[in-house]
Structure 1
């Protein structure tokens, strides 16, 4: 299927690794010009080179370092995209996860930091991007959040609580920015990201798993499709939601979890 986003301009935040990088890769494979972002300049440079090597002919991929909790960095991020490509058609927001803790061990400071990272980063990026998204022929926003907005996950009180705000924002934007801009969200379950790889490798070192594959198989237990996701499973969905092929999808939140969730809605 031709997604018809060849030559479009896309910005993907927190895309130097994991699901953000997969989203950038999927967009670049479809011919979109992409600005990638991350705080670690060396890791970002490596990620840009990797995505650029896999991009469609003619697609340009560049990196813009920046901290998503710094409003000035966000302003620079959007400005770089517009300066580089002459506009902005697709915004994909992603961010690292907050600490994994139970409620009574979570500090007030950690609550504010999680809100700043997960919610205000999206708010500020949309503030900066809105006029550019409206100026094109069908701008899109895709928010990468977590399946924890559907079902609370043990030990992840910050993610369970704070990410809900992003979904409320996404739904609001889908109405307030329409018809010029569509806003949707994806809710990832377990994917084979560097974080999961690290946890499995630690399990191998502790003797919990006989091999990395054993650990990977264990993580897949309980998932109806039988395995955890490849990050590109999510990336391809992000590219689809950014394309005219999904033109009647607006204000939705798509679980990408292999059927692991038990929620009816």
Structure 2
């Protein structure tokens, strides 16, 4: 199915690896021009080359390094997108996960850092992008959150708590910015990303798993479709929600978890 976003301009934050990179890849596969973002310039350069290799003919992929906790850097990131592609049609917000910790272990500073990383990065990026998204008939916002907002994960108190604020923001934007802009969220379950790899490695260090292989098998064991997800599966849902093919979907929070979640809603 042609998603109808060929030639559109898209910005994907925190996209030098993992689910953000997969979302950029899926958009570029559909012919969108994409700006990828990350803090590590070497890794970002590699991601641009990787995503470009799978992009549709004519689609351009560029990278722009920026720290999403720096308001000025976020403004520069949006401006670079507009300068490169003449506008901005689709914003996809992503951010790396905060450290895995229990409530007792977590300091005030870590709570503030997690809020800045997960919530304020979205607030500032949407604020900077809004005038461009509203131009030429409107655009889309897709926020990559986590299934932990519905079913908290052990020892991820920061992600469980703070990401819920992102979902509240997304739902608010879906009404406040309508009809020009549609806003949706995706709630990824277990996907084969560096984040999951690091959590499994930490589980080995903590003694919860005997080996890395056992840890990955444990993560996959609860997924009804069998195995953990390919990040590109998530990316293609993001591309669909960014497209006119999902034109009557707004304010939704879509689980992409292989049936792992037990929540009815």
Q: When the two structures are superposed, what TM-score results if normalisation uses the length of structure 1?
A: 0.95
Residue aligning to 2:67 = 67
Counterparts of residues 1-265 of structure 1 (less than 5 Å): 1-198=1-198, 208-209=210-211, 212=213, 216-265=216-265
- 1:138 is displaced (CA, Å) by 3.6
- 1:131 is displaced (CA, Å) by 0.8
Change (3 A) 1:126 1:204: closer
- 1:219 is displaced (CA, Å) by 2.2
Secondary structure of 1:234's aligned partner: helix
Kept in 2, the 8 Å contact 1:88–1:136? The answer is no
Secondary structure of 1:223's aligned partner: coil
Provide the rounded CA distance (Å) in 1 between the counterparts of 2:218 and 2:159: 23
Provide the rounded CA distance (Å) in 2 between the counterparts of 1:198 and 1:253: 26
* Root mean square deviation, CA, Å: 1.8
Provide the rounded CA distance (Å) in 2 between the counterparts of 1:137 and 1:11: 18
Kept in 1, the 8 Å contact 2:90–2:141? The answer is yes
The superposition leaves residues 114-172 of structure 1 with CA deviations (integer Å, 9 ceiling, x where unpaired) of 00000000000000001100113340000001101101111111111110110110001
The superposition leaves residues 194-227 of structure 1 with CA deviations (integer Å, 9 ceiling, x where unpaired) of 2334555788999934x85x65443210111111
The unaligned stretches of length 5 or more in structure 2 are: none
Secondary structure of 1:105's aligned partner: coil
The superposition leaves residues 213-252 of structure 1 with CA deviations (integer Å, 9 ceiling, x where unpaired) of x654432101111111000010000000000000000000
Provide the rounded CA distance (Å) in 2 between the counterparts of 1:51 and 1:153: 31
Range with bigger deviation, 27-36 or 187-196 = 187-196
Secondary structure of 1:264's aligned partner: coil
Name segments (4+ residues, structure 1) moved above 6 Å: 201-207
Change (3 A) 1:233 1:69: same
The unaligned stretches of length 5 or more in structure 1 are: none
